Structure 1
Amino acid sequence: MYKATTQGIRVCVEPRFVEEESQPEKRKFFFAYRVEITNMSTKRVQLRSRHWRIIDGDGNIHEVRGAGVVGEQPTLGPGETFTYTSGCPLTTPDGTMQGSYTMLADTGETFRAEIPAFSLDSPFVKRAIH
C-alpha cells in the first residue's frame, strides 16, 4: 500500500492488475486501484476535485482533471474516512500514477492533498537486469 499525508489528510492507495479485463495480445492492460482518504486533522474538509498524472511504460504522460471522485465530492469530519475504487487502462503492461486532490476546509482554506506515486505492474512486464 502506498501512503501520503498532507495537512492531516492521509491518502492510501492499493493498486492491482485486473487480468479478466485485460487483453495483452491487443495491448490492453487494465488496473484497478482502491483509495482510502482519512481526515486526521481537526477541520472538516470536502474533496472538491482531482488531478491525476498517469505515465505508461513507454513514458507517455496522460493527465486527468475533474470534479470529485467517482461522481462524489465527499465531506469528511475529523477522523472520518472515504473509500472508493476506480480503474486505469494502459496500452503497456506497466506504468505509474500520482496526483492530488483539491480539498476545501471548513475554514475556507483550499489546499492540495498529495496522492502518492504508485506503480501499475502486470505479470506481462519484461524486466532486464543490467
Structure 2
Amino acid sequence: MVTTITDGVKVSVETIYQPEYSNPANDHFMFAYKVKIENMGTYAVRLLGRHWYIFDSNGAKREVEGEGVVGQQPVIEPGQVHEYVSGCNLKTDMGSMKGEYQMSRLMDDQLFNVQIPEFYLIAPYRMN
C-alpha cells in the first residue's frame, strides 16, 4: 500500500491482480485497486473529479479524466473516510498509475488538488 497526504487529505492505494479477468495470450492484464481517502483536516471536502496517468511497461501512456469516482462525488467530513474499488486494464503485466483528485472545501468552495501517489500494477508471477 502506498500513501500520500495533501492539504490534510490522506490517499492510500492497494492493488490486486485479477487473473480471472486477464488474458495474457492477448496482452490483456486486469488489475483492481482499492482507494482509501481520509479527511485529516478541519473542514468538509467534496471530491469533484479525477485525473489519472496510466503507464504500461512497454512505454504506452494514457490519461483518464472524469467527474467523481465510480459515479459518486462524495462529501468527506473531517475524520471521515471514503473508500472505493475500481479497475484498470493494461497491455503488459506491469505498469503504474498516479494522478490527482480535484476537491472543493465546502465552507468556501475553494478548489484544490490532492495527489494520488504512484502505485504499481504487477502480476504476482513477475515478483519472483
What is aligned with 2:26? 26
Q: CA deviation at 1:125?
A: 3.7
What is aligned with 2:15? 15
Q: Deviations over 1:90-127 (max 9, x none)?
A: 11111000000000002221000000000000135498
What is aligned with 2:68? 68
On the 8 A contact 1:54/1:61 being kept in 2, the answer is yes
* Structure 1: 4+ residue segments shifted above 6 A: none
- For the pair 1:113 / 2:107, whether they are aligned, the reply is no
Gaps of 5+ in 2: none
Gaps of 5+ in 1: none
Looking at structure 1, the residues matched to 49 and 92 of structure 2 have their Cα atoms a distance apart, in angstroms, of: 27
- SS of 2:124's partner is coil
- SS of 1:25's partner is helix
On the 8 A contact 1:5/1:114 being kept in 2, the answer is yes
Q: CA deviation at 1:58?
A: 0.7
Normalising by structure 1, we get a TM-score of: 0.94
Q: CA deviation at 1:63?
A: 0.1
- Identical positions, percent: 43
Looking at structure 2, the residues matched to 126 and 110 of structure 1 have their Cα atoms a distance apart, in angstroms, of: 40
Instruction: Please give the residue correspondences for 1:87-126 in structure 2 after superposition, counting only pairs within 5 Å.
Output: 87-106=87-106, 107-125=108-126
- SS of 2:48's partner is strand
Looking at structure 1, the residues matched to 60 and 122 of structure 2 have their Cα atoms a distance apart, in angstroms, of: 16
Looking at structure 2, the residues matched to 27 and 34 of structure 1 have their Cα atoms a distance apart, in angstroms, of: 23
Looking at structure 2, the residues matched to 37 and 100 of structure 1 have their Cα atoms a distance apart, in angstroms, of: 12
- For the pair 1:86 / 2:78, whether they are aligned, the reply is no
Number of aligned residue pairs: 127
